[in-house]
Amino acid sequence: MYLNASSDRPGEAYVVPHESGSQTWPVRILFAHSETLNSSLWMMGIEATAEGIAVRPRLPFERWSWSGSGLSLSYDEARIQGSISGAAPELITLELQLPRDWHDGPIEIEVDGVRRKLERAGSSARLRVRVAPHQLTEFAVKKA
Tell me if residue 133 falls in helix, strand or coil: coil
Q: What percent of the chain lies above the pLDDT cut of 70?
A: 76
* pLDDT of res. 112: 93
Q: Structural domain boundaries of the chain?
A: 45-143
pTM: 0.75
Neighbours of 58 (CB within 10 A): 9
For the cut 70, the answer to whether the pLDDT of residue 64 exceeds it is yes
How far CA 102 is from CA of 43, 56, 93, 107, 118, in Å, comes to 21, 14, 20, 8, 12
Residue range 45-143 forms a domain whose CATH class is: mainly beta
